[in-house]
Structure 1
Amino acid sequence: MGDRICRKVAWRLLPLLVACYFLSFLDRVNVSYASLTMNADLGLSATAYGLGAGIFFIGYLLFEVPSNILLKRFGPRVWIARIMISWGIISSCMALVQGETSFYVLRFLLGFAEAGFFPGIVYYLSVWFPAAWRGRIIGSFLVALPLSSILGAPLSTFLMGMDHLGLAGWQWLFILEGLPTILMGAVVLLVLPNKPDDARWLADEEKAWLNGTLEREDRAATETSHASIAQALTVPKIWVMAFIYMGIVVGLYGFTFWVPQITKSLGGLSTTQAILITVVPNLLAAGVLVAWGRRSDLSGERIRNLAMPALVGGTLFMASGQMASRPLLSYVLFCAGFLAAFAAFPVFWTVPMAVLRGSAAAAGIALINSVGNLGGFLGPYMIGAVKDRTGDYGMGIVAVGAFVALSGVLTLLLARLSPDTGRALRQAALSGAAPSERAG
């Protein structure tokens, strides 16, 4: 019965949530496509572009925890809709950028507006799905990330070719990719249920099963479940999780914001070709996310399934940076490092969802995401700053790899230094699984 209910909930909620996150990531990273002509039009250096791309996450950091607390107060439906409408407006306003200062200001405001969206969704999923389903559910949700590049690349290629009404292609890109987000925010406001009891498409016995299962998991969670919001923000393990996440995010955004330009630097490629080639690693990443999240669920093992891809991804990134004299090999290793590090994403979010419950969950998840997303500032900025100083991307990619590998090391230390976290993860991963899945 439990599997049938979870599948039903997934088919009802995930298409809408994936579409929302698709637009979120598209509006966040379309600057990487715009940069292929925008940087020259505005006279932006590699350092200035990297700083502007990353400063998004400073605004994100400042409003992340307050945003998730407000989400718990106003409800996911209203607050997620507010987030989407405000960031869609600001994303469209990126077409008004005139130079470094306006670039920095609008990127900062975009992060400020979007703050709370991703951790809000993670928290939202935790009130709908038992722990044994969360790896595959988060993996399926995160498919929106590579999907935004798979579909966003040809769309951005088309928009970059527009030159009408005195606006450059990159300006049309920002305008026309921001407007759907505003419309989707209105859809969320109309149709998204806050919790199982609000879902008209669930029968009473289905609601009872979900509520009962989640309540039992709440009681079985670690002591952090019953901490106040203020106490949750002072728990050392939450900060360790935040730094684990930061290292993974350094790899994700270091790759995402620079891969179009690194692809073009291989030589002989047009802007259109450089954008379209980025589809390949992102297409592979979609499969990796779902497969690795499901693997983690079926095995019930979170720590190894988180540490392994981080260590492998970090090693491949560092190897890529050392191969700057062999551009094609360096590029292949760069993409392979991204795929390995990306596999850690769905598994990572099962950890705070298992050990943070109740009043601590919204603030704790937001803190982890906000501190972790500083990696979104560090990754792009490090690569851009090193490129301006040395003339190539090599040592910047090595630095990115070191952060990703450190995430793997911290994961192993977390399990060793906090045995209760390891126990909670094992119990949560198996508590809601079907017998056939536990045997697998």
Structure 2
Amino acid sequence: MTAATVNPGINATSEDAIYRKVSWRLVPFLLLCYVVAYLDRVNVGFAKLQMLNDLKFSETVYGLGAGIFFIGYFLFEVPSNVILHRVGARIWIARIMITWGLISAAMMFVTTPTMFYVLRFLLGVAEAGFFPGIILYLTYWYPAARRGRTTTYFMTAIALSGVIGGPLSGWVMQSFDGHNGWAGWQWMFLIEGVPSILVGLWVLAYLDDRISHAKWLSAEEKTVLERNIAAEDQHKEDPPIARVLSSPRVWLMAAIYFSFVMGLYGVSFWLPTIIKQTGVSSALHIGLLTAIPYGCAVIGMVLFASSADRRGERRWHIAIPAMLGAIGLVLSVHWRGDTTMAMVALTIATIGILTTLPLFWSLPTAFLAGTGAAAGIALINSLGNLAGFISPYAVGWLKDATQSTDSGMYLLAASMVVGAVLVLSVPAKMVSRG
């Protein structure tokens, strides 16, 4: 069933206009939410430039603290997403953002490894459900054929947080260091925690839970959107939660996502350190340089997503960027003595890794719906994000053991290759509807 068959007055051009209206209302706001969320999650990578020396933490302590965030995230992901599906995105996303903003700001008071571990764990608990909740929320508004580019626009927030957060974090740490007796990294946690609280309050006033709640849509526009979603949901599964959690297809998706997240957080948590090792010493200059790979990644993400939607193909559009990410990571090791060439390699790696992530979500959302989608998406994201614990900890441990990040980068490259192979093992017909 198409929108045109529901109402002869609605043609393809009119339907496109309706979706543009929805996108301009939702996507920029959701992107802003994710920018401040992701910034609070990974700004510990910049804090590391000063924090480890000030607090006498080892690389292993840092890696464990950076990664323990994802244990809390893992434990509370599925229940959080099920609650969101039941109580609505508006209240639950606001709750998530306000609590994580408060905890992120509290990171400024860390003095011991135990405090570091506890606050990072609580930050993961607070944020659990945000990302899969937004992925689920988009399925309420967009059919699969339109969701690829929309999800990518939303997930460019990962790259944009690097473009904005890198220079911002470097500037705050360098400019505020010593003010009021606080170190630059303490000021950074405080200043970057406040936007999450403010945007969380904005969510309560701005976000609509469902199409039917949107006062900014006409009755005719709501009918078109709801009929498109209903027509697509007829072809999806909404199995009991227990069956979703034991589904081999869902676990395959989790394995793929795990592989890609290994690469993502290897770059997110260690990019400032890798750049510093090439000979750059200024925190501000490191921050400015980190913006380059992320800025290029925004372009790469949009181009690949547009191509995937235009061709109706997903698997190769995920596998090829994954291989590019692996190649970039390997080259960053070989060119580590040359800042310019190392930046080229890190840019290739960042483009490849970040491009895989939004397109990956077109796979599980092509066969899950309803409460099953809420549980399935949350399980995939929580299991995949365990790599966020393993990746920084493994790289930190290898760096302490070898006094180099080389072996860690090889590990992350191998993970991206495994993810590419697993994607190509997914039957094309299983996701062809997307």
TM-score normalised according to structure 1 size: 0.92
Q: Answer whether contact 1:250 1:379 (CA < 8 A) is retained.
A: yes
- Give the structure 2 partner of residue 11 of structure 1: 24
- Choose which of 194, 219, 224 in structure 2 pairs with 1:204: 219
Aligned length: 419
- Deviation string 1:102-146 (CA, Å, 9 cap, x unpaired) is 111111110111000000000000110111111110110011111
Aligned to 2:411: 399
Residue 73 to residue 319, structure 1, CA distance change in 2 (3 Å): same
* Separation (CA, whole Å) in 1 of partners of 2:397 and 2:128: 26
Name stretches of at least 5 consecutive residues in structure 1 with no aligned partner. 416-421, 429-440
- Note the alpha carbon deviations across 1:211-267, whole angstroms, 9 max, x for none: 11111111122xxx1311111111101011011011111111101111111101111
State whether structure 2 residue 320 is matched by structure 1 residue 308: yes
TM-score (norm 2): 0.93
Q: Which one-letter code corresponds to 2:184 in the other structure? A: G
Among 64, 68, 81, the residue aligned to 1:51: 64
Report the residue type matching 1:408 in the other structure: A
Whether contact under 8 Å (2:292, 2:347) holds in the other structure is: no
Partner residue in 2 for 1:174: 189
Task: Give the counterpart letter for 1:79 in structure 2.
Answer: W
Q: Show structure 2 runs of 5+ residues with no match.
A: 1-13
2: distance between equivalents of 1:26 and 1:324? 26
How far 1:321 moved relative to its partner? 3.7
CA distance in 2: counterparts of 1:54 and 1:176, whole angstroms? 22
C-alpha distance in structure 2 between counterparts of 1:346 and 1:364, whole Å: 16
The answer on whether the counterparts of 1:320 and 1:398 sit within 8 Å (CA) in structure 2 is no
* Aligned-partner residue type, residue 384 of structure 2: G
Question: 1:346 & 1:192 partners in 2: Cα distance?
Answer: 22
Deviations, residues 143-164 of structure 1 (Å, cap 9, x unaligned): 1111111111222123212132
Contact 1:59 1:112 in 2 (8 A): yes
In structure 2, the partner of 1:239 is: 251
* 1:230 partner amino acid: A
2:345 is matched with 333
Let me know the Cα RMSD of the aligned residues. Answer: 1.5
Q: AA paired with 1:83?
A: I
CA distance in 2 between partners of 1:195 and 1:92 (Å): 32
Alpha-carbon offset, residue 207 of structure 1: 0.7
Instruction: Say which SS state the counterpart of residue 43 (structure 2) adopts.
Output: helix
In 1, Cα distance between the equivalents of 2:280 and 2:253?
A: 42
Pick one of 100, 113, 121 that aligns with 1:108: 121
Deviation for aligned residue 1:330 = 4.8
Between the aligned partners of 1:11 and 1:130, the Cα distance in structure 2 is: 17
Deviation at 1:328, TM superposition (A): 5.6
Q: 1:273 aligns with which of 285, 291, 299?
A: 285
Q: How far does residue 320 in structure 1 lie from its aligned partner after superposition?
A: 3.5
User: Using the alignment, how far apart are the partners of 2:159 and 2:339 within structure 1?
Assistant: 23
Name the aligned partner's letter for residue 173 of structure 1. Answer: M
Aligned counterpart, 1:36: 49
Residue 432 of structure 2 is matched in structure 1 by 426
Partners in 2 of 1:201 and 1:424 — Cα distance? 36
- Change beyond 3 A, Cα 1:389–1:324: farther
Q: Which amino acid is 2:128 matched to?
A: A
Report percent identity of matched pairs: 46
Partner of 1:414: 426
Q: Answer yes or no: is the 8 Å Cα contact 1:324–1:394 preserved in 2.
A: no
